[in-house]
Amino acid sequence: MLAALVVFVMALAVGAYVGYPLLFPDRNPQENNPERHELELRSEQLAGALRELDTDHSLGKVADDDFAERRTILARELESVEQRLAGAAPSDQTDLDELAEKLVAARRAARTHARPGACPRCGQSNPPAARFCMNCGSRLEEREPTS
Amino acid sequence: MAEIGHYSLLIAFFLALYSAIASFAGTRAPELGESAKRAALALFWLLTIAAVILVYLLAVRDLTVEYVARYTSTVLPMSYAISAFWAGNAGSLLFWVWLLSAYAAVVVWRNRKSPSRLVIPALGVMMLIAVFFLGLILFLYRIDPEMTPGMVRDPFYATLQALFGSPEGGLHPACNPFWRLPFRPAEGLGLNPQLQNPGMMFHPPTLYLGYVGMAVPYAFAMAALLTGRVGNEWLSLTRRWTLVAWFFLSIGNILGGWWAYVTLGWGGYWGWDPVENAAFIPWLLATAFLHSVIMQEKRGMFRTWNMVLVLITFVSTIFGTYLTRSGVISSVHAFARNEAFNIAFLAFMAVACVVSFAFLFVRRDQLVSESPIESVFSREAAFLFNNVVLVGIAFVVLFGTVFPAISSAFTGVQVSMGPAWFNSVLWPLWAMLLVLTGVGPVISWRRARRNEFQRGFAIPFTLGIVLAAGLALAGMRNGYALAFFAICAFVLGTIVQEVLRTFRTRAATLDSPPARKAMVAALTANRRSGGYIVHLGVIIVAVGITGSSLFERQADLVLRQNEVKPFEDQAFRYTSFRQTREPNRDVYAAGVEVTRAGEVRAQVEVVKEDYHAEQMRWTKARILSSVAEDVYLTLAAFQEDGSAITLSVRRIPLVVWLWVGGAVLVLGSLIAMLPDARERVRRARPASETGER
C-alpha cells in the first residue's frame, strides 16, 4: 500500500515537472538566439583551425602555396562569422551551413574550371601532380614555388 | 521496495517515449522541446531511484527478489554483493540505461544556456535508445512452465499474465531485476568466484561508460542527418564526448586485461575471447573516428566517412553489449534458450543500421569532400591508411569472433579461432598501424616534398635500425621482435623530435616571459600534446605486448616440502602448506620461497580456493613484478596432505610496460580533453561583452 502511494506521488511529481513548460509557456526561459551560439561555436572552430594551420606551417608541414590558400579560406570565413557575431550584417536568414556549403562549392568549382594542370601548348587538362602534359609531352609549369 | 523500483522503471519507460516524441516535435514547438528536456532530466532521477533500490536490495540480500538470489548469497562480502548489480543481464541492462540517462542529463545540463539546434533532436535519439532498453527490461518474457497466474502479486504483471499467458505456463520476465520469487530461498546462488575480485568493481562500469558514451556522438550525428545541418557543428559538439567514451573504453579494456592477468591464473592478459573482442571492436572504431575527425576539421574531407564511422561505432557498442550479455558466441545453443532477447537485440541493431544509413543516403549530396587526396605521400593519405587499417583490424576481429558461431550454426561443427589465428592475421596490420603512428604526425599536408623525408625521418629511422642491430648483436634472433622493437624506436624518435620542434616554434612565437614559455607552450596546445602522449602510451604498450607474447617461458616444478628446484636463474623452494575454512570457501595455500643467486627474493603463498555455494575451484596467481620481467606463480596441483605440490612458473618479460603504457595512454586522452587556451578565454568572457562589440 505504501509502495502504491510512493509510486503515485512519484508519477504526479514527474507529470507536474514535465508538464510545466506546456502549461505555462510564457514562463519558459527565454532562449538565447541559437544562431548566435552556432556562430560562436564556428568561430571557435575556425580560430582553432587557423592556429593549427599556423603551427603546422611553422613546423614545415604545410607548403607555402597550400598554406596561403587554406589560410585565406579560413580567415575569410572567420571574418564573416565575426562580422555576423558583431551584428554588422543583420541576420539575413542565410544559414551558416549554407554559407559553408557555398564556400565549398565555390572552391570545388574553382578547382574544376581553373584546370590547374592545363597544358600551356595544347590546352589538355592534366592531373594535378603531372609534370609533363599527357597529350603533347611539353613541360608543365612547376606549381610549387616552395623549398 | 522492489515494487517501487519496478514502477519507477515503468514510469521511466513512458517518460522516455514521451521525451523522444516531444523532442522530435520540439524542433518546431519550443515548449515541447523544453518539456522534452525536463523529461530527460526526470528520467535520470527515476532511473537513479530504481538503481539505488536495486543496490539496496543487493546490500540487504533480499533473497525474495530473483536477481538478488541468483547473483548473491548471504556470505558474499558486501562490496561484491553490490557489484552484482552488473553481474547478470537484468542488472546490466538497468545499469546501461541508467548511464544513458545520465549522459543525456549531462548533455541537457551542459547546453542549458546556449542551446544548439542539434541538442533537442539528439536528445530524442538518446531517448529512443532508452525506450528500447527499458522495453527490454519491462516487456520481454519467456514462457515458464512452472509459473501459474496465481503466483504473481504485482498488478502490472497480473494484467499481462491475464492478457498474454498461455496454457504451457506463465510469463516470466526475461531480464527484470525487480522480479519477485513466490517464495524466499534459504540461500542465494552466489557470485561466480572469477567475479569476486576488485576488478569486478571497476572493469564493467568503465567499459559500460565507454559503450554508452558512444551513444552521444551517435545521437548528435543522427540529429545532424535528421535536421540536415551536417556541417562541422555536430563534430565540434561531439569531439569531447567521443574522447570521454574512448577514455572509458581504454580504461575498460586495459583493466579487463589486467584483471584477466592477475586473477584468471593462466598467465595471459588477452585471449581473443568473444567478450574481450566485443569491447575491443568499438575501441578500434572510435580510434579511427577520433583520427578522421581531424581530417574534416582541418581539410573538410572524409565527411561521409565520419558519419559512417560514428554509426558503425555505435552499432558495435550495442553488438558488444549483446555479445557480452547473451553468451551466444560461447555456445549457439544460448540463442534458443533466450530467443526473445536475441531477436530483440538483433532487430534493434538492424533497425539502427537501416535507419542510420537511409538518412545518410538521403543527405549524401551535402557530405561531399571539399578536395580530393592528391598524393600517396601526404598527411591526408596517412590518415586514410590509418583509418583503413583500424577498421580492417576491427573487421578481422569481428570475423574471428562471429565466425565460430556462424559456422557451427550452419555446419554443426564448432571451429575455434584461437589466439594463434588472430595473432597471425593481425601482426602485419599492427606493424602498419605502428609505422603510421610515426609517419602520420610528421608528414606534410597535401604532398610531401623530397627533402622532408630526410628532415623528418632520418634520425628516427636510424634510431630504429641501430636498436634492431644492437638487439641482434646482443643475441635476439626473433624476427618479429626485432621488427617491432625497431618500429617502436622509430616512432619514439618521431614523437620526441616532433615535440621538441613544436615547443621550439611555439616558444618562439609566444610573447610570454621567457621563463614561462615552455610551460605556456606545453599547456596551450592540449589537444596536440594529448595526442603525442597517447601515441607514446601506444608505443609503450606495444613494447610490453611484443616482449610478453614472444619471450614467455614456462615450467611446471613438482616440489616436495623443503625441496628446491631451479628454473633458469631463479630457484623455488616449497616451504609450508596451510588449509583454512572461510564462510564461503576453503583455502589451500602453499608457501614458496624464491631465491636468485643465493639471495631470497620473496616469500609468497600460492593459493587454490574451493567456493562452496558456486561449487567452483579457483586458482589465484602470485606475481613478482619487475621492470624487466614478471615471475608468475600458480599452484597447479597439490597433495591433500600437503606433502607435495606442482608449482607452475611463468617468466613473462616486459609485461609491466603494458600497464604503464596503458596509464600513459589514458593520461594522454585526459589531456586531450582539456580545453585549449583560446577556448578558455572565450568561455571566461561574459556573453554581454561579446554582444557589445
Spans of all domains in chain A: 35-86, 116-147
Q: Is the pLDDT of residue B600 over 90?
A: no
Q: Given CB atoms, is A101 within the 8 Å cutoff of chain B?
A: yes
pLDDT band per the 50, 70, 90 thresholds, residue A147: very low
**Nearest 5°: CA angle at B267, between B262 and B273?**
90
Residue A68: predicted pLDDT: 85
Distance of alpha carbon B220 from alpha carbon B625, whole angstroms: 45
Are B220 and B189 contacting, i.e. CB atoms less than 8 angstroms apart?
no
Interface residue of A14, A39, A81, A91 to substitute, partner B, most B CBs within 10 Å = A14
User: CA neighbours within 13 Å on the CB side: how many for B146?
Assistant: 2
CATH class of B553-653: mainly beta
CB-CB contact of B297 with B235 (8 Å)? yes
What rounded mean pLDDT belongs to chain B?
Answer: 85
User: Are residues A101 and B366, on separate chains, in Cβ contact within 8 Å?
Assistant: yes
Lowest mean pLDDT among B150-164, B350-364, B461-475, B579-593: B150-164
Does residue A93 carry a pLDDT above 90? no
Is the CB of B371 less than 8 angstroms away from the CB of A107? yes
For B517-527, what is each residue's pLDDT tens digit?
A: 666 666 667 78
Identify whether the C-beta of residue B8 lies closer than 8 Å to the C-beta of residue B47.
yes
DSSP state of A132: B
- Answer whether residue B117 shows pLDDT above 70: yes
pLDDT for res B330: 60
3-state helix, strand, coil in chain A (%, to 5): 65, 0, 35
B640 to chain A nearest CA, in Å? 54
Sheet containing B599-611: which strands, arranged edge to edge? B564-567, B570-582, B585-596, B599-611, B616-620
Q: Residue B307: which pLDDT band, with cuts at 50, 70 and 90?
A: very high
Q: Please, what is the Cα angle at B168 between B165 and B169, to 5 degrees?
A: 55
Share of chain B above pLDDT 70, in %: 90
B7 close to A (CB below 8 A): yes
Helix (H, G, I), strand (E, B) or coil at B451: helix
Nearest chain A residue to B299 by CA distance is: A70
Coil, helix or strand for B545? helix
Average pLDDT for residues B454-478, to the nearest whole number? Answer: 89
pLDDT at position B499? 86
B415 touching chain A per CB within 8 A: no
Contacts of A18 in chain B (CB under 8 A): 15, 18, 35, 38-39, 42
Most confident of B37-46, B145-154, B373-382, B403-412: B37-46
Q: How many CB atoms lie within 10 A of CB B153?
A: 10
More confident residue, B483 or A89: B483
Confidence of residue B12 (pLDDT cuts 50, 70, 90): very high
Which stretch of B70-84, B143-157, B358-372, B479-493 has the lowest confidence by average pLDDT?
B143-157
Chain B window 362-381: which residues touch A at a Cβ cutoff of 8 Å? 366, 368, 370-371, 374-375, 379
The per-residue pLDDT for range B621-676, each reduced to its tens digit, is 889 888 988 999 998 888 888 888 999 999 999 999 999 999 999 999 998 888 76
Average pLDDT for residues B52-65, to the nearest whole number? 92
Whether B406 shows a pLDDT value over 50: the answer reads yes
- pLDDT classification of A145: cutoffs 50, 70, 90: very low
Average pLDDT over chain A reads 73
Going by pLDDT thresholds of 50, 70 and 90, the confidence category of residue B276 is confident
**Residue range B565-589: mean pLDDT, rounded:** 88
Does the pLDDT value for residue B110 go beyond 50?
yes
Kindly state the average pLDDT of the residues B215-226.
Answer: 94
- The predicted pLDDT at position A127 comes to 64
Contact status of B542 with chain A (Cβ, < 8 Å): no
What's the pTM? 0.86
Given this model, what pLDDT does residue A69 score? 84
Residue boundaries of the structural domains of chain B: 1-140+175-196, 200-367+377-404, 449-549+666-675, 553-653
pLDDT mean over B594-623: 84
Per-residue pLDDT, averaged over B212-222, amounts to: 95
Let me know: does B567 contact B559? Beta carbons within 8 Å.
no
Residues ≥6 apart with Cβ < 8 Å to B669: B243, B246, B247, B250, B530, B534
Integer CA distances (angstroms), B93 to B174, B401, B613, in order: 11, 22, 25
Which whole number is the average pLDDT over A88-113?
Answer: 58
| Range with the largest mean pLDDT of A81-85, B143-147, B463-467, B686-690 | B463-467
pLDDT of residue A107: 62
Chain A residues within 8 A of B32 when measuring between CB atoms: 22
Confidence of residue B216 (pLDDT cuts 50, 70, 90): very high
pLDDT digits (tens, 9 = 90+) for B505-561: 777 666 666 666 666 666 667 788 888 999 999 999 999 999 998 898 989 999 998
Average pLDDT of span B126-145 = 88
236-255 in B: which are within 8 Å (CB) of A?
A: 236-237
Question: Does the pLDDT of residue B585 top 60, yes or no?
Answer: yes
> Does residue A67 have a pLDDT over 80?
yes
CB within 8 Å of B598: residues ≥ 6 apart: none
Residue A129: pLDDT band (50, 70, 90) is: low
A40-44, B175-179, B208-212, B353-357 — which is least confidently predicted? A40-44
Half-sphere exposure of B412 (CA within 13 A, CB side): 0
> If pLDDT is split at 50, 70 and 90, which confidence band does A131 have?
low
C-alpha cell of residue B202:
571497476
Residue B469: is its pLDDT beyond 90?
yes
**Alpha-carbon separation of residue B25 from B13, B22, B120 (angstroms):** 19, 5, 9
